Amino acid sequence: MANLLASEPSAYLKSAAHQPVHWRPWGEAAFAQARAEEKPILLDIGAVWCHWCHVMDGESYEDPEVAEILNRDFICIKVDRDERPDVDARYQRAVQALTGQGGWPLTAFLTPDGEVFFGGTYFPPEDNHYGRPGFISVLKQVAELHRSDRARVAKSAQAIRRHVTESLDEAKGGQVTPAILDAAAAQMAGLFDVRYGGFGDAPKFPHPAAVDFLLARWHDAREDWTREVVEKTLTGMAKGGIRDHVGGGFHRYSVDERWILPHFEKMAYDNSELLRSYLNAYAALGTPLFKEVAAGIVNWVLEVLSDGERGVFFTSQDADLAFGDDGDYWTWTPGEIRAALSDDHAFDVIRRVFDVEVPGEMHHDHEKNVLWWKRDPAGDDEWPVLKDALKQLKVARDRRKAPFVDATAYVNWNAMMASAFLHAGAVLDRPECNTLALKVLSRIWAEAWDDGRGMAHVIGRAEPRGLLEDNIHAAAAFLDAYEAKGDEAWLVRAIAVARHCVRAHWDEQAGGFFDLARDRPGAAYLATPAKPAQDAPTPSGNGVAALVLARLSALTEDREFRRLLDRQLATFAGAAAQLGLHAATLLRALDWALNPATRVEVSGPRGEGGAACAMHLVALQAYRPRKIVIRRSADQPAATVCVGTTCSLPVATPEALANLLR
């Protein structure tokens, strides 16, 4: 039996095509073979950007002894979590029920019917002193258990299935009141790291939705502590090693609580959400550092994570070049920095600002340093030296072989980045961002949308489809395009996608949106309905759906959207209250429902250069939570601002509109 992954479209699956394991892609054929041969299934879920996936591939799946056991005793299925987030979400819950934690690589052992009875994440090749059993030992024990004690296997599978079924429905009803927002803000305050910013301790992940939620509360109430949380968190990440100071953009998370040592992979979804947060914070607070960080994300995406000719945003950039490499592309020895710079003074400035010392931060090579901003330059004359030195470091790093970029065009992540780029086009006044974003969204509409079946998961590919996230993120991005351009066609498209979500995903009986379309066939766990409320790792489908309904209600005054919004929020109010930080997108939607929106309407002639065009840009640039912008054609320029039911008199200049919005 040959490995069947070479013809798969996924870069992650293709990367395993050479392995001696008889891998099969996810599908009924693999389950049918497992049933026919009465063998358990090994399910490996990972991603091309995942460091520990590469480690386990190199240590175990490329080992002939491991492959021999797997090929003899198991049916082996490999899944790309980016291609099949629906599969990943369900089997993550199962392994979390067993071990208390999930992550990638996910290593699950299934019955031939797809029920989990044992699992974990990374397994070392041999038993080690951290208490992790070696993979060969695990394989032998699991195979023997399945052969000799089917009753025990069935009992374990049933218990895990019950937990998965219960946990996948995150809906919990409640009354929609301001107390939920107050309690969530208090919970975030309790988790806030007062020393280094962010929430919780190591490992530390960005929580951009929570930052946006607290920034909105600061704008409304002007409480000093909410501003402190926002500023310290965004500043901590901006100065830490989690930010790529040489090339722009952010790595996925920080191993330590100080934001210094990152997991080096760079994800489209992280950078799109962080771009929005830094833009919002710059628009609200005027902090130059936040503008600089946002511009860095944009520059990296334009250079590395997009194709302007085709109109597409890519998925991710790997942490490493190959198995055994631990972030070497991103890190520096003092000698490498000295060789890249033109003089000793530049080297001295970089060394002091970015704490370049021996030993550095990387355990596998004590000379390797992660660049993190420890101190400012010593004087005004050193700032231009620092800026020029960073350019020289980028030139030197560009000569290195760069980690792999996954160019798969996922609809949900393309929509998220397009939304962020439309925001950047306004706040940073960079029209090229708008051009690319609109090109991407036009491709999504032309190549991914089907009137009867909704959005596909990958631009230009018919299957898979039926995922709530693809549909609802596209609807949100179409609304952003409507506000940015004033073109009614984008609003029509957003409404069409939202109504499809109601037809295909909405639970009229209990409220809430299912993550998969009801008519989509599903084997094994895929038949289990799920209503996600947590932002993990992307904004929850139900949270984004609530925001889309809130915006459509404000833009169209269609009472059906408001009815659905109220039902949606009542369905998840209890969950939002309990989850707090991890349901920040839902909390932002609750904020929309409970507090007045700002409606900015700009009228006037179309075309560049006029007062109406300038006022439209001012409206898009201004920070106000719960803001909608409407552009209309008229003979004379005029703008009004309404907050709730209170409206201003019309104004006719950008300066007057800016004053109104302030």
Distance CA 167, CA 106 (A): 18
Shared domain check, 487 and 414: yes
* CA distances for 530 relative to 44, 139, 446, 526, 596, angstroms: 21, 31, 29, 9, 32
Distance CA 587, CA 579 (A): 10
Answer whether 521's CB lies under 8 Å from 465's CB: no
Between strands 316-317 and 405-406, the pairing is antiparallel
Shared domain check, 574 and 614: no
Distance CA 612, CA 604 (A): 5
Q: How confident is the model at residue 634 (pLDDT cuts 50, 70, 90)?
A: very high
Query: What's the mean pLDDT in 506-520?
Result: 94
Residue 199 DSSP label: B
**Among 476, 433, 481, 482, which residue's Cα sits nearest to residue 455?**
476
**Phi/psi of residue 205, nearest 5 degrees:** -105, 150
Crossing angle of helices 411-427/611-621, nearest 10°? Answer: 120
**Total number of domains constituting the chain:** 4
> Is residue 312 in a domain?
yes
**Which H or E run contains 628?**
strand 627-633
* CA distances for 513 relative to 94, 177, 472, 572, angstroms: 21, 21, 10, 11
Angle at 349 between CA 346 and CA 352, to 5 degrees: 145
**Among 23, 25, 109, 39, which residue's Cα sits nearest to residue 74?**
39
> Is residue 603 in a domain?
yes
Shared domain check, 579 and 541: yes
Contacts of 501 by beta carbon, 8 Å cutoff, 6+ apart: 454, 468, 471, 472, 475, 513, 545
Q: How confident is the model at residue 520 (pLDDT cuts 50, 70, 90)?
A: confident
The pLDDT score that the predictor gives to residue 309 is 97
Q: How confident is the model at residue 411 (pLDDT cuts 50, 70, 90)?
A: very high
Distance CA 495, CA 37 (A): 49
CATH code of the domain containing 475: 1.50.10.10
DSSP string, 456-523: EEETTEEEEE-BHHHHHHHHHHHHHHHHHH--HHHHHHHHHHHHHHHHHHB-TTT-SB-SB-TTS---
> Is residue 2 in a domain?
no
DSSP string, 111-168: -TTS-EEEEES---SS--TTSPPPHHHHHHHHHHHHHH-HHHHHHHHHHHHHHHHHHH
CATH code of the domain containing 134: 3.40.30.10
Is the model's pLDDT at 49 over the cut of 80?
yes
Residue 367 DSSP label: T
> Is residue 656 in a domain?
yes
User: Within 13 Å of residue 107, how many CA atoms lie on the same side as its CB?
Assistant: 21
Cα 358 to its chain centre, rounded Å, is 34
Range of the domain at 64: 11-168
Shared domain check, 564 and 531: yes
Q: Which of 577, 594, 611 is the last residue of a domain?
A: 594
Query: What's the mean pLDDT in 588-599?
Result: 97
Question: Is 96 strand, coil or helix?
Answer: helix
Joined together, the tokens standing for residue 618 give 């001012």
Shared domain check, 247 and 144: no
Q: How confident is the model at residue 323 (pLDDT cuts 50, 70, 90)?
A: confident
> Is residue 411 in a domain?
yes
The pLDDT score that the predictor gives to residue 652 is 97
Shared domain check, 190 and 120: no
Residue 247 DSSP label: T
**Among 3, 13, 11, 105, which residue's Cα sits nearest to residue 59?**
105
Residue 581 DSSP label: G
Distance CA 437, CA 588 (A): 24
Shared domain check, 302 and 442: yes
Q: pTM value?
A: 0.96
Answer whether 588's CB lies under 8 Å from 550's CB: no
pLDDT digits (tens, 9 = 90+) for 192-218: 999 999 999 999 999 999 999 999 999
Shared domain check, 106 and 45: yes
Residue 108 DSSP label: E
Is the model's pLDDT at 537 over the cut of 90?
no
Summary mean pLDDT of the chain: 96
Q: Which of 594, 613, 634 is the last residue of a domain?
A: 594
Q: Which of 131-135, 208-212, 244-248, 518-522 has the lowest mean pLDDT?
A: 518-522
Is the model's pLDDT at 424 over the cut of 60?
yes
Shared domain check, 624 and 573: no
Shared domain check, 186 and 307: yes
Is the model's pLDDT at 523 over the cut of 70?
no
The pLDDT score that the predictor gives to residue 130 is 67
Shared domain check, 256 and 157: no
Distance CA 157, CA 169 (A): 19
Query: What's the mean pLDDT in 475-484?
Result: 98
Question: How far apart, in Å, do the first and last CA atoms of the chain sit?
Answer: 68
Question: Is 440 strand, coil or helix?
Answer: helix
Distance CA 318, CA 264 (A): 7
Query: What's the mean pLDDT in 114-128?
Result: 92
Q: How confident is the model at residue 507 (pLDDT cuts 50, 70, 90)?
A: very high
The pLDDT score that the predictor gives to residue 557 is 81
Shared domain check, 558 and 435: yes
> Is residue 3 in a domain?
no
Answer whether 466's CB lies under 8 Å from 458's CB: no
Is the model's pLDDT at 521 over the cut of 90?
no
Q: How confident is the model at residue 608 (pLDDT cuts 50, 70, 90)?
A: confident
Distance CA 153, CA 27 (A): 23
Query: What's the mean pLDDT in 567-585?
Result: 97
List helix spans (H) across 9-149. 11-14, 28-37, 51-56, 64-73, 85-99, 135-148
> Is residue 4 in a domain?
no
> Is residue 173 in a domain?
no
- Bigger pLDDT: 606 vs 297: 297
Query: What's the mean pLDDT in 539-555?
Result: 97
Query: What's the mean pLDDT in 358-374?
Result: 95
Is the model's pLDDT at 129 over the cut of 60?
no
Q: Which of 354, 387, 402 is the last residue of a domain?
A: 402
Joined together, the tokens standing for residue 632 give 């209309």
**Which H or E run contains 423?**
helix 411-427
**Which H or E run contains 316?**
strand 316-317
